[in-house]
Amino acid sequence: MKKLIGFMLMISFVIVIYLENTSLFSMEEWSVSEGKIAEEIAVNSVPVTQTRRLNGSEIGTLAPEFSLKTLSGKSIYLSDYKGKKVLINFWAAWCAPCTKELPALEAYNKASSGVEVISINIDPEDRAKEFAERAGISFPVLLDVDDKVNNDYGIVSIPTTVLVDEEGVIINKHIGALDEEGFHVFVQ
């Protein structure tokens, strides 16, 4: 009799676990679909022509202002570039796609006119200066020592490139590495 009761308890336990997992799966599906609906409402509720200020680097929002120091210690503000298009590239020396991309960004910088290029190193303690010097980077390399700009722009993966127009509005964003031609296409 004890074996039968033990067996029935074990079967009940298995059934409860099965039902719990099934309900979690359906809750996750519901949560994802609810999130998509909320996102669609949010996107459609603000006219594209209206500039919004949100956290992160969403296209159509004002780019968060920042002040960072260059490798030589000079402070640079995003507002220093007001009236110009600015291409901002987030990277780190330990990131293989970033280190492959930076020479292409340098080539783009030398070949283009009308777009200011700056890069923001998100891990300044990891050989940023050494790498920038070896790569012959001529555009400003800024150091995000406290991760504030990285967080303000909502960077989730590097390399990430953000394009800011003359009025300070983010007009394009790309996550992942680009080659020189890719930068030309990205800016247009």
Q: Which of 87, 98, 105, 162 is catalytic?
A: 98
Residues in Cβ contact with 50 at an 8 Å cutoff, skipping those fewer than 6 apart: none
| DSSP per-residue string spanning 131-177 | HHHHHT--S-EEE-TTSHHHHHTT--SSSEEEEE-TTSBEEEEEES-
End-to-end Cα distance, the chain: 78
Query: Rounded to the nearest 5 degrees, what angle is found at the Cα of 75, between the Cα atoms of 149 and 177?
Result: 45
Encode burial over 29-68: b for 16+ CB neighbours within 10 A, e otherwise.
eeeeeeeeeeeeeeeeeeeeeeeeeeeebeebbebbebeb
**How far is residue 55 from each of residues 9, 150, 151, 165, measured CA to CA in Å?**
51, 11, 9, 18
- Residue 95 annotated in active site: no
Kindly list the catalytic residues: 98
